[in-house]
Amino acid sequence: MSTQLGTRTVLARHLPRRAHLSLVRYASDIPKRVALRGEGILTSPRFNKGTAFTEREREDFGLVGRLPYRVNTLEEQCERAYAQLSSRDHPLRKNTFLQSMKDQNWVLYYALLKKHLKETVPIVYTPTQADAIANYSNLFRRSEGLYLSYPDKDTMEEAFLRQITGREVDLVVVTDSEAILGIGDQGVGGIAISAAKSVIYTLIGKVDPSRTLAVALDVGTNNENLLHDPLYVGWQKPRIQGQEYDDFVDKFVQLVRKHLPHSLLHFEDFGVANAHRLLRRYRSVHSVFNDDIQGTGAVTLAGAMSAVGVTGSSLHEQRIVIYGAGTAGLGIATQLRDAMVAIDGASVEDATRRFYCIDRPGLLTDDLPAGLMRDDQHEWARPAAEWTGERNGKDRIDLIDVVRKIKPTMLVGTSTHAGAFTEEVIRTMASNIERPIIFSLSNPSRLVEVHPHDANAWTEGRALLATGSPFPPAKMPSGRDYPIAECNNALIYPGLGFGAVLSRSREVTDNMIIAGARRLAALSPALTDPDNSLLPDLQDAPDVNLEIAVAVAEQAIEDGTAGVSWAKEEVRDRAKEKIWEPVYQEYVFDENGDR
């Protein structure tokens, strides 16, 4: 069974019967009243249809003579655009072409991405977007969001209001650009990751792009190349820190709370010193989400739930090694621990004892000298007394020492330490357990802790595998292909966000995230075949994320955090009414219409 077929089979079985029978009027079925005419509508990416404007629309909107004679369908436009995209011979050139299309025509842009989703997501998101961000100042053509720079802090509210006045904004994606996609501090270029995340929210989560806002907090940069680049377009000073930084971020957050009280605020690619503490500070006062912590944790939780389903065990029975205790690694640990508490009924203390976190000083233990652990790592430190024998005069306890002693059932890599899961590590792990769970999640693919084909070979095809980047299937001893699950945040964060927006939840609760992860795990192809992928195929991500959004919104209603008065039974139809699809709407000219 293919991964895709398995996902769709489970999806069809999972949907409630009434969902197939509901008669829902989509927004795209209703004529759109638009106030722009002539050049104004042709230069608006939101409303431009290019050659797809009908004869009647060309007359009404003053476009006769401004366009070639023939009226094209969206399908024909996609065919032409795909041929142009395919003629570009480098991913960055493809990225630039698609960015240009996005600046001209949203519907065509998203329709093209949707039609070729697996091919285009790596171009508009990771890994190619990292190259685009690294070259942001050199490639700069036009702005793509809201830039809030520290020197202009006193006029921040005016700049913010200029962007949102007259608009309904459901989603704000913000970055301070310190930890971009594995390439580190990229200064103001980080706006492009906020924009890319917004694209995925629309493409996969079906959030209306006109209701999203990408933001960069330009607090300076410690990237020496940018500090000395005469073409750098951001504030060319070292990063502000401490109270100055906190006050600047807080001023922004309070503007969101004041002017967009029902929005979701998505924190993206903040540095390890700030990500966890900002999430803790604001998550109880606004609907706040950090994809690097919660999204990575949620998709990994879904993969882990699928894996333990295959092994017939529970999460709380696992012995879990986290190799790379940074933002992502501790986010995963926290999410798995929360699930052990919520699903298995474990205490927080007992669940914490299931984890062994390894970072630069080796295994985190409570006797490490001051300064070797960050504040957010202390709760994960193991008692030093457990490891007296393993030290044997050494300064650190390494991965192989941990694997030999605790016989882990699950190994999670978020270190960007390529090849860290050596043959010795994998074979030692596999010698003590029938179905080792091995998640090498570092991006890009050249930085994975172990190539999944090697892990498959070193475990004689017994490992349950997931990676952070796409890999081709591995060969089982039987000769059959084993699809490698891609633990891609795009499988879950768009649905989590859409569910929070749909329910107008006052906060994103742990229960909401776990509900989304459980729904994703329920759609695993491995449920129908234990030797299939642990997670759905990325091609199915739009359908999967709609299911996640429904689960999240239902949980918000159950938790009492929702700002809507619906019953849980109404959520699916409400979601269908709100989704945005890349289709051309009929336009009617109205001086009081949208602009």
- β-bridge mates for residue 147, sequence order: 216
Cis peptide before 127 (omega within 30 of 0): yes
Which 3 state secondary structure label does DSSP give 290? strand
Cα distance between residue 104 and residue 126, in whole Å: 23
Which 3 state secondary structure label does DSSP give 362? strand
Least confident range of 27-41, 198-212, 349-363, 537-551: 27-41
| Catalytic (active site) residue 568 | no
The DSSP letter of residue 382 is B
> What pLDDT was estimated at residue 23?
39
27 band by pLDDT with thresholds 50, 70 and 90: low
Beta-strand relationship, 288-290 and 264-267: parallel
- Residue pLDDT, tens place only, 159-182: 999 999 999 999 999 999 999 877
Reference 424, options 451, 404, 452, 397; nearest CA is 404
How distant, in Å, are the alpha carbons of 322, 337, 387, 397, 431 from that of 405? 15, 22, 9, 11, 13
Which residue type does 78 have?
A: C
> What pLDDT was estimated at residue 1?
34
Edge-to-edge strands, sheet with 410-413? 362-363, 355-359, 320-323, 410-413, 437-440, 464-467, 485-486
Distance between start and end Cα atoms, the chain: 49
Cα distance between residue 266 and residue 417, in whole Å: 28
Cα distance between residue 480 and residue 417, in whole Å: 30
594 versus 151: which is more confidently predicted? 151
Q: Say yes or no to pLDDT of 98 above 80.
A: yes
Cα distance between residue 83 and residue 77, in whole Å: 10
Cα distance between residue 493 and residue 508, in whole Å: 12
pLDDT mean across residues, the chain: 93
- β-bridge mates for residue 464, sequence order: 437
**553, two tokens:** 């919104």
* 536 CB neighbour count, 10 Å cutoff: 29
The DSSP letter of residue 373 is S
Residues 183, 188, 189, 191, CA torsion sign = positive
The DSSP letter of residue 383 is P
Annotated catalytic residue within 94, 102, 197, 578: 197
Beta-strand relationship, 464-467 and 485-486: parallel
> What pLDDT was estimated at residue 120?
96
Are the C-beta atoms of 190 and 176 separated by less than 8 Å?
yes
* 182 CB neighbour count, 10 Å cutoff: 15
Annotated catalytic residue within 109, 125, 136, 232: 125
Least confident range of 17-31, 365-379, 505-519: 17-31
| Catalytic (active site) residue 125 | yes
Secondary-structure breakdown of the chain: helix, strand, coil percentages, each rounded to the nearest 5: 50, 10, 35
> What pLDDT was estimated at residue 26?
55
Q: Average pLDDT in the 222-238 region? A: 97
How distant, in Å, are the alpha carbons of 28, 31, 51 from that of 59? 21, 16, 14
User: What are the backbone angles phi and psi of residue 86, rounded to the nearest 5°?
Assistant: -65, -25
> What pLDDT was estimated at residue 126?
83
Q: For residue 251, give the H/E element and its range.
A: helix 242-259
Q: Which residues contact 302 (CB under 8 A, 6 or more apart)?
A: 491, 492, 517, 518, 520, 521, 524, 535
Q: Which residues contact 110 (CB under 8 A, 6 or more apart)?
A: 202, 203, 209, 582
* 87 CB neighbour count, 10 Å cutoff: 10
- Residue pLDDT, tens place only, 307-356: 999 999 999 999 999 999 998 999 999 999 999 999 999 999 999 999 99
Q: Say yes or no to pLDDT of 242 above 60.
A: yes
Reference 61, options 41, 43, 31; nearest CA is 41
Cα distance between residue 246 and residue 4, in whole Å: 45
> What pLDDT was estimated at residue 368?
92
Q: What is the pTM of this model?
A: 0.90
> What pLDDT was estimated at residue 7?
52
